[in-house]
Structure 1
């Protein structure tokens, strides 16, 4: 079985035939849970160290119980509830989620209720909100791109332009938004770029791609083989490859006229090869790109430039606090 090692202490994760075929819960468990557990450990260590929450411990009796609600302060798509559950479990808190990852929310939507030790609740709220606001922000921006191309054949895909250490979680969020996962990393698919092809000592573009595909597939799980081109001449050459060598061609930084022509040539010569548009894709341009007839559009911004979704955590005043006496959000300076 082909596997991906996550870290020195974690069991390897089996690679499925297609990550995109999994439902969200299964995807999280197979792709992101091991990383999420490790990230929660690190996040809590950097916040609490070996001492704990000095402020809460100084103000709140150890046996005081509390209840709080997480709600949305804006429109967006929720992602990260599975991580919030891990944080709650570490804190021995009870968490009830009122919706699931991938749900669309608006201002005031209740997302989850948390109960247990008030000290533990306050000590873990920032870690919980940090994960939820970041990942929900990724999902929200991804959903905007998905919505923008709705009705076309194009799928929005993510990239490897992720926050270091958050790769699997951020890719999980793109699926929560309805986007398609590209390769998870360098280990599960082949994407040939100009620097790779230049490493060959000789041979035409077609010969180099054919040889690279053959070597990669020899004894490895390879989800797909893809090659980047930046001209129609390169595209024409690759479309002569026999079926089974090349699965996709990435059209790098082509304008809509070139993209339209590329689709026309692909359709006439090698309809089985998928075309992916990439490079500088924005919300105000993605619809026009999709209408050119490409199959996929990769967007780095959905993981590297998404603003956080504003979420709040409010304590229930029935547990000894005045209404809104504690109010936390991504904008807070805690």
Structure 2
């Protein structure tokens, strides 16, 4: 996915501006100790194996501080990078580079961390028919950025927010009165619809009510396997397309392979974006 297909330039600019304002405010009092005319070249290293993501955020950080700063990239978003690999070289005012360093790396380490975690999950289930999905469990203000990072890691974006897809959960069903009632109302909308079920009985009710995408919440692998069989049998008996099934809950790198083997179409992983493992980057001035 191209970055601007998910987050446009204006949105990215605003994210960077907010981060810089938070950090610098009235001025970088430490960088002011450096001579104003001091020019440097700095190399940005990665200290571990990772998937790179966040080039545009780093570049925009220095651009907002000083358009004369030059950033030369030696790797691209989605690339696997190795320990001690130089990912970019930055040249220009020492003061400006020092002032923007932390903000720039914060974006890069966060988004690369999300992309790397996603790639780890994708690699574990390689060869299965399942796809990895993200969730709305994101860092406030960085949802679109993190969802872009998920795509860089090979995952698929679930709904972006509450506005682009209907996801009927337990409390919605309770308020509506039944699975059938909730689905009947939702299917009249011109939006994708998914419904959450917690038992095989609820799965059957959802299928009979016309659900085409069903979230199987916190089911064991044995129950997930039965759910896939029930879904396929319902499709054959009623000559309709099989519903897409999504497994959710208790998903980890240790459990996901077994979940994928059940035959579900999607596995949603909240940990892609909420259990952040930032990638270690280091900026070094050349002597």
The partner residue of 1:90 within 64, 76, 81 is: 64
Q: 2:157 aligns with which of 152, 167, 181?
A: 181
Which secondary structure does the structure 1 equivalent of 2:53 belong to?
A: coil
SS class of match (1:251):
strand
Alpha-carbon displacement from aligned partner over 1:202-231 (angstroms, at most 9, x marks no partner): 4x42233122221x32xxxx2x20000000
Q: What is the DSSP-based 3-state SS (H/G/I as helix, E as strand, rest coil) of the residue aligned with 2:194?
A: strand
Give the drift of 1:53.
1.5
Aligned mate of 1:276, from 241, 246, 268: 246
Question: What pairs up with 1:6-25 in 2 under 5 angstroms?
Answer: 23-25=1-3
1:287 to 243, 252, 257: 257
Correspondences of 1:91-106 after superposition (within 5 Å): 91-92=65-66, 93-106=69-82
**1:48 offset after TM fit, Å?**
1.3
1:312 and 1:281 map into 2 onto residues whose CA distance is 32
Q: Measure the CA separation in 1 of the matches of 2:157 and 2:72.
A: 29
Within the candidate set 315, 318, 327, 2:285 is matched to 315
Superposed counterparts of 1:17-96, under 5 Å: 23-27=1-5, 30-31=6-7, 33-50=9-26, 52-58=27-33, 60-92=34-66, 93-96=69-72
What is the Cα-based RMSD across aligned positions, in Å? 1.3
Match for residue 192 of structure 1? Answer: 168
- Which residue number in structure 1 is paired with residue 274 of structure 2? 304
Q: Distance in 2 between matches of 1:76 and 1:256?
A: 30
Q: State the distance in 2 between where 1:145 and 1:280 align.
A: 14
In 2, the alpha carbon distance for the partners of 1:207 and 1:266 equals 20
The reply on whether 1:249 has 2:214 as its aligned counterpart is yes
| Number of positions where the alignment pairs a residue of Structure 1 with one of Structure 2 | 280
CA apart distance, 1:43: 1.3
Kindly provide the CA deviation profile for residues 274-316 of structure 1, in whole angstroms up to 9, marking residues without a partner as x. 0000001000000000000000000000100021001111111
Note the residue ranges of structure 2 that are not aligned, 5 or more in a row.
Answer: 236-240
Superposed CA offset, 1:35-74 (max 9, x none)? 3211211111122112x2211212x211111111111100
- Alignment CA distance shift 1:47-1:26 (3 Å): closer
- The one-character-per-residue Cα deviations of 1:133-178 (angstroms, maximum 9, x if unpaired) are 1111111111101111110000000000001111111111000000
Q: TM-score, normalised by structure 1?
A: 0.81
Structure 2 Cα separation of the partners of residues 64 and 121 of structure 1: 11
Q: Distance in 1 between matches of 2:246 and 2:83?
A: 35
Counterpart CA distance in 1 for 2:3 and 2:31 is 34
Mind listing any 5+ residue stretches in structure 1 that lack a counterpart?
A: 1-22, 318-334
Name the residue aligned to 1:237.
205
Q: Please, which of 226, 236, 246 is the counterpart of residue 261 of structure 1? A: 226
